[in-house]
Structure 1
Amino acid sequence: MSPSITTTADRLPDVTRINFRFSGHGRFAACLARRGRGHLVPETWDLAGARPRVLRTRAGETLTSVPTPTDGGDVLLCRFGAGAHRLTLVTAPPREDEDAEEHELAVFHGGVVRVVAGAAPGIAALALATGPDGRTAVWRLSGGPERPERIATLPCPVRGGTWLDETGRRLALTRAGTGPVTVVLDTSDGSLTPLAGPADDEYVLLAAPRAGVLLTAVLREGAYRLGVRDRDDDGPTRHPERLNAFEGEVTPLALNPSGRRLALAVNRRTRSHLVLHDLAEDAGAEVGLPAGTIFPVARWGAGGLHLVHSTPDRPPGLVDIAGCSVSRPTGEDGAPARVLTYPGAAGPIEAIVYGDPATSRQVAVALHGGPESAWRFAHDPLFQRLSRAGVAVVAPNQRGSTGYGDAHRDAIRDAWGGPDLADLLALGRALAAARRPGAPRPMLYGASYGAYLALLACAARADLWSRAAVVAPFLSGRALYRDGPPPVRALLDRLGGHTDIDDDLGPRDLLRLAGRLRSPLLIVHGDDDPIIPVAHSRRLYARLRLARGPMDAELTYMEVPGGGHDLQHGVRDAAVLDRVVAFLRA
């Protein structure tokens, strides 16, 4: 297919967008956006084609604020906090240079709150609040400033939320605990019943309410299989062969209104591919989007398919797919990038590259978190700012990264800081060899697991690197297992992250290796990080002060008050990016 290209995304170079959601009938979308060094604020998109509109809230938002648009264009904003979650209606002011109007609707203490966009008149959304006792209260939100109305109390925690009919009466949910995983909430009487027909362990992912078609998933032999079934038929689910044979990571996005066509994002290596699959014929065709990344949120209504797409030079924005045409404006938002191959320790590795690492005055090697993650071909505000400052960026997907097959991903199982560190050192040597004599050595940047790996690289080969900026590092797998939350301990168990490596460098413990960390360092950590405790950075900084001396001006520690784990997106302004960019440009 050879699409023509159109869009509604705004094209300012310093735009960040996260947390996209659609309204119940798909007229509006909303996200959080930041322009330049300002605050994160809600932004609404009219799918009829009007330009995005910013709703300027009083204090700005953080990563944990979740906007749900109403079909009237307002936003239901759930602000999550440590002790209380606040649900607020944000309405647009008469003029865009004025603050938005805010109406606090409810405060939920403790537990978990989720908002599901509504699908019936009078129900803009449902708020599902699971308390510490495991029971879930269901509240109806009108879309106006009225307080929520409680319509049900469910005996278990639930997640998900897929409307099964156009009346907005039946909502499919995923329940925790024993018994069928898919249950149906009847909003007219608050009853909760199993969905007729599927296996007890079958999940409902998507629905075409008018046609009564459901897309489901079930775990078999360690992999999920996608299935198609009729909502009102208790017969067996079909599992189309070709639908389950794609190479890569598959994310179902949306069913069209007839229930016959399914939009899929298929991620391979660094980029996403959009496939429209005919469920009746079990045959798909790819739509030729520009090389980039598709976000896992979409809406397919009478007006067509809308999804969220990003490229390195354009921030995330809504893309309107009409037949085989893609709407996007011409021109570039920011610095372009390309994918290059570099030598790793055991074979080639790919990297997303901005600028020319051989001729640029400075080059930064950026390491992703995870470790089960990868750099994707998408807009990154930090990389854009570094590129505009004349710093080339090399973002490698070394062994341990996803998207390159099981062997590449599993190479660091029971060996954190082993094969991936070897790949990083091989990359450092290749970059140094390609640079002109006398040019500064490459720098390192990393967040979370990438921060840990960057510091290991500095300890292993200090001569390769000129400096390093790290965000939210942990001290070692063993220390993180002791101090981290249950999901992190489960990840360490599954990947063997607390297994020691026996080689010349020895156990990968940053406190033990602190004496080898002599490069200029910037360590940044949020004091409210729920993933990696801030105590890890505090202890590392204290040990480095002892090793390097209290007057060492090349060691800087920045603790962000109220900062969580994602400091690039999760704080109200861009102060963290300012500090990192200034350090790497020095």
Structure 2
Amino acid sequence: MPLPLDQPEEPDSEVAPLADGRVLIRRRVADRQMFSLLYPTGPGTGELLLGAVGCAEMTLLPPSPDGRCVYALAAGEDHASLWRVAGGAFGPEEVARIPGRCSGGVWLDRAGRMLALDRREPGGGPVKAVAVDLGRQGEVTPLLQIAPGSNDRLLLADADSGLLLLRSDAPGHDRLGWGVLGSCLPVRFPECLRLPDVAVTPFAVQPGQMLMPESCAVALRIDGAPGSWVGVWRPAGRQLHQFAAPLGWVPGAGYWSRDGVLRLPYANGATPCGVALLDAPEDVEPSSVTGRTGGGEDGREPSAADTAPAVCKPVPLGQAPLHGAARPD
């Protein structure tokens, strides 16, 4: 649908979807951040102005789990300001100030109360993930403390299973690792996620795996010289399956269904807007890692050979099961 303005959006504008179908957009105008809600009105798009925040830089956080609120983070030299920019009663409002330099942003619960941020203390030091309790005026508690001097950043969290995906240099260099929220087991750094000459970043976790973090399928964006493609991995499987992305994939965008189907949005000359479906593959030698501390002294796991990348099955957006409908054959 066309946007309500007669000019293109700036490259640094950000959007976030809400559960009711509206889309929040953040636009920078001079030294202010402008927020509006876009919504369909017949053949066009309506716009509801929410207000502005007077700061030069802000970053939208992922929408809250209830799909009704959106928060934004404004980083300062010695503190970060957390703003609720959609879902409040009176437009954008500051809800918390967190000491230190903050980045990231991962929700830890379904209620939208516990938010994880990556923080560096005001006096310097390593970056550590902390939990911010929005129900207690932004009270901050430690979340990741792998080693005293390590940089420990949280990338993804799944509220159903408790699975955490993180990045840390505690093993001696920057590695992808996983753990379980509230578990006493150590963080593990799978060897199969350590690929030469590419960057691997998780972007989606399979929901609905109650108390079974090892069974969750994790989608990863793999960036290398040839471009970007998709990886699928489970903590219990110790294998990284690689797939060619559909032509025109929006890198790092995707959603898992509860039954293990990954949906990847794409757009190209043949399909202006579509969704590719990818079934989570089964590992050749499934195993359970429950209660174990890993394959070696540093918690690493053995790698496994990958087959040639497969191709996702494209489906035009009009036929895509966006609301839990049966997947077309």
Q: TM-score, normalised by structure 1?
A: 0.42
Contact 2:163–2:181 (CA<8 Å) still a contact in 1?
yes
Aligned to 1:101: 47
Q: Structure 1 residue 100: deviation in Å?
A: 1.5
Q: 1:217 to 1:323 in 2, by over 3 A?
A: closer
Number of the residue aligned with 2:81: 137
Number of matched pairs: 274
Is 1:181 aligned to 2:128, yes or no?
Answer: yes
Is the contact between residue 68 and residue 77 of structure 1 (CA under 8 Å) also seen in structure 2? yes
Q: Following superposition of structure 1 onto structure 2, how do residues 31-180 of structure 1 map, counting pairs within 5 Å?
A: 53-57=1-5, 59-93=7-41, 95-97=42-44, 99-103=45-49, 105-121=50-66, 123-131=68-76, 134-143=78-87, 146-176=90-120, 177-180=124-127
CA distance in 2, matches of 1:310, 1:248: 24
SS at 2:183 equivalent: coil
In structure 1, what is the Cα distance between the partners aligned to 2:54 and 2:81? 12
Q: For residue 327 of structure 1, what is the aligned residue in structure 2?
A: 314
Contact 1:55–1:91, Cα closer than 8 Å, also in 2: no
Deviation string 1:273-301 (CA, Å, 9 cap, x unpaired) is 32211211201323454466661233324
Q: CA deviation at 1:216?
A: 0.9
Deviations 1:431-482 (A, max 9, x none): xxxxxxxxxxxxxxxxxxxxxxxxxxxxxxxxxxxxxxxxxxxxxxxxxxxx
1:232 pairs with 2:182: yes
What is the letter of the counterpart of residue 158 of structure 2?
A
Equivalent residue, structure 2, for 1:272: 228
Counterpart-to-counterpart distance in 2, 1:73 and 1:144 = 17
Aligned equivalents of 2:90 and 2:275: distance in 1? 31
1:195 is aligned to 2:143: yes
Q: How far 1:88 sits from its partner (Å)?
A: 1.8
Q: Deviation of residue 311 (structure 1)?
A: 6.1
8 Å CA contact retained: 2:151, 2:169: yes
1:564-583 aligned at under 5 Å gives the runs none
Q: CA deviation at 1:141?
A: 4.1
- Unpaired segments of 5 or more residues in structure 2? 282-311, 318-329
Could you say if the C-alpha distance between residues 205 and 60 of structure 1 is closer, same or farther in structure 2, counting changes exceeding 3 Å?
same
2:279 & 2:169 partners in 1: Cα distance? Answer: 33
Give SS of 2:112's match: coil
2: distance between equivalents of 1:205 and 1:110?
26
Name the SS of the counterpart of 2:193 in structure 1.
helix
- For the structure 1 residues 70 and 128, does the alpha-carbon distance in structure 2 shift closer, same or farther, using more than 3 Å as the test? same
Q: Are 1:165 and 1:212, in contact at CA under 8 Å, matched by a contact in 2? A: no
* Separation (CA, whole Å) in 2 of partners of 1:192 and 1:60: 40
| Equivalence map 1:333-412=2 (5 Å) | none
Deviation of residue 323 (structure 1)? 4.4
Check 1:71–1:144 CA distance in 2 against 1; reply closer, same or farther (3 A cut): farther
Change (3 A) 1:66 1:122: closer
SS in 2 for 1:328: strand
Q: Which amino acid aligns with 2:19?
A: D
Q: Is the 8 A contact 1:197 1:233 kept in 2?
A: no
| Equivalent residue letter for 2:313 | V
Name stretches of at least 5 consecutive residues in structure 1 with no aligned partner. 1-52, 331-586
Distance 2:279 2:38 in 1: 31
Letter of the structure 1 residue corresponding to residue 264 of structure 2: L
Matched letter for residue 186 of structure 1: D
Q: CA deviation at 1:188?
A: 0.6
- What secondary structure, in the 3-state scheme, does the structure 2 residue paired with 1:205 have? strand
> Are residues 61 and 291 of structure 1, via their aligned partners in 2, closer, same or farther at CA, if it must alter by over 3 Å?
closer
Which secondary structure does the structure 2 equivalent of 1:100 belong to? Answer: strand
The question of whether the paired residues in 1 share the 8 Å contact of 2:193 and 2:200 is answered with no
Q: 1:321 aligns to what SS in structure 2?
A: strand
Question: Scaled by the length of structure 2, what TM-score is found?
Answer: 0.71
Asked if the contact 1:290–1:311 (Cα under 8 Å) also holds between the matched residues in 2, the reply is: no
| Aligned residue type for 1:262 | V
Contact 1:55/1:92 (8 A) holds in 2: no
Q: 1:308 to 1:247 in 2, by over 3 A?
A: farther
More strand by share: 2
Q: How far apart in 2 are the matches of 1:172 and 1:275?
A: 25
Q: Does 1:281 align with 2:237?
A: yes
Higher relative contact order (CA 8 A, sep 6+): 1
- For residues 501-512 of structure 1, the aligned pairs below 5 Å read none
Whether contact under 8 Å (2:256, 2:263) holds in the other structure is yes
How far apart in 2 are the matches of 1:280 and 1:221?
21
